[in-house]
Amino acid sequence: MSTAPRALSQGRPQTGDRVERRIERVAMISLHTSPLDQPGTGDAGGMNVYVVELAKRLATRGVEVDVFTRATGSVQPPSVLAADGVLVRHITAGPFEGLSKGELPGQLCVFAREVLRAEAVQPVGHYDAVHSHYWLSGQVGALARDRWGVPLVHSMHTMAKVKNEALAEGDTPEPEGRIIGEEQVVAAADVLVANTDIEAKQLINLYDADPGRVEVIHPGVDLDVFRPQDPRAARRGLGLPEDAHVLLFAGRIQPLKAPDVLLRAVAVLLDDSPQLRSQLVVPVVGGPSGSGLEHPEALADLASGLGLDDVVRFVPPVAQPELAQWCAAADLVAVPSYNESFGLVAVEAQATGTPVVAAAVGGLTTVVRDGHSGLLVDGHEPRDWAVAIRRLITDGELRSRLSAGAVEQAREFSWERTADRTLEVYEQAQTVMEEAS
C-alpha cells in the first residue's frame, strides 16, 4: 500500500473553514510491535518504551490515547487498558504468528481497513490527531489522516538509509521497498518528530524533508524506576560478586546493536591482563532480534570461541525495575551499536549512576557526554573498546566522576518534557494541515 505525497492526496475532507480545537484524543499507530511487549527481544525495544511512556504522560494531561497494534496471538483480547486513558487495540491482520517484520508490508491494507473500521463506529471527529511510529505505521497513519481530516505526526525511530550507510558485518541491508515507503511517509506527514538534531538533519539531507516540518523532541527516562542504587546491594540481589568488575550489555541481540564488539573487547582485555579474568562478569541482558534471529546462538558461539564462557552470562529480557537493578550493579554499560536514533538504554543506565561506554554514532553523541557521563569510542575496533573499558575499571576516581555526571546528564531527559513538547507539535501539525488544505 502506498501513500501519495501531500499535494496528490485524494479523498481528504476539506478543512479550510475548520476551527482549531484542543487535542483531546489521539490515535497512535505502532503496527509492528506492541507497547505491551517485553523490550529486549523480537522487535520490541526502545520504541515500545517510547510509545507506552509517551501515551501514559499524555493521558495524565487529559489526552486519551488509543494505540493500534497488530495482534500476534489468538488469545489476545481486542483491547487492553494499559493505563488510565491509554487503550491498546489489537488489530487482526495476517497470521498471528510466523510473520517477520519484512513480511508485514503485505498486511498494511488489511491493518488500515481495520483501523478505519474501529474509528467508523465512533462519532464524527473522534480523533484529533494521528501519531504513527516507524514507517509501516506511517503508511497506515497517512491514510487515516486523509480519511479523518486530522493531522499526521510521524516518528521514524530508525531509517533505512541511515542503517544502510553503517551496516554491521554480516547484517542485511534494508530493502528498496522500505526506502520508498519511508520517502512516502516523509512526504505525507504534517510534522516529523526527530529524537535528536542529528536525526533531524538526516531526515532533511537523506529524505528531503521540509525543515519547517521537522521538530526535535528528545525521548525521556522514568527517573522513578531508573535511579541511583547501592551497587553492592544491587549485585547481591542479582547473585553477582560484590567485588567483581561488571560490564553490562542490555538490549536486543542483533548485528546492529553489536554486542559482539563488547565480547571481542573483553577478549583483548584478558589477553593483555589475564589476572582480570577472576574479577570480570559480563552480563548480556536481552534476546535475539531482527537479523539476529537467523542465528540465535551466534553470540553464545562467539563467547565460547573467544574462551569467555566463564565470564559471560546470558540473561533473558527483564522488566524495567530489574533492568534498572542490572544497570546499577554494573561498573559500566556498553552500547556499541552501529547506529542509534537515540539510545534509550544509555539514558536509563546513566540515570542509575552508571557510566556508559558508547559508540560515537547517531543519537548516542547527544545522550552521552564524552568525559562527563561516559566515554564515546570512535569506531568498533575491539582494542579501542578494550582501552576505554580498562580506563573505567582501573581508575576509580574517573569512574566516580563519570557516575556523578551520568546522573546529572540523565536529568536532562524527562518523559514529562517529552509529552509537553509532543502536545505542542500536535497543535503545530493542526496549523500545518490547515495551511496545506
Q: Where are the alpha helices (DSSP H) in 280-355?
A: 298-305, 320-329, 344-351
Asked if 211 and 406 touch (Cβ cutoff 8 Å), the reply is no
Known binding residues for 1D-myo-inositol 3-phosphate are: 32, 43-48, 101, 134, 158, 178
Q: Which residue type occupies 37?
A: D
Known binding residues for Mg(2+) are: 330, 354
Q: How far apart are CA 121 and CA 270, in angstroms?
A: 63
Nearest to 433 by CA among 21, 61, 68: 21
Q: How far apart are CA 395 and CA 245, in angstroms?
A: 12
Cα distances (Å, whole numbers) of residue 144 to 47, 48, 111 = 21, 22, 11
Long-range contacts at 11-17 (CB < 8 A, ≥ 24 apart): 11/146, 11/147, 12/145, 12/146, 12/147, 12/149, 12/437, 13/148, 13/149, 14/437, 15/149, 15/433, 15/434, 15/437, 16/434, 16/437
Asked if 113 and 89 touch (Cβ cutoff 8 Å), the reply is no
Nearest to 34 by CA among 105, 133, 100: 133
Sign of the torsion formed by the C-alpha atoms of 385, 386, 391 and 392: positive
Beta bridge partners of 80: 88
Known binding residues are: 32, 38-39, 43-48, 101, 134, 158, 178, 252, 257, 318, 330, 340, 348, 354
**Summary count for the chain: helices (H), strands (E):** 15, 14
Known binding residues for UDP-N-acetyl-alpha-D-glucosamine are: 38-39, 46, 252, 257, 318, 340, 348
Secondary structure of 286-301 in HEC code, one letter for each residue:
CCECHHHHHCCCHHHH
Q: How far apart are CA 359 and CA 377, in angstroms?
A: 5
3-class SS of residue 380:
coil
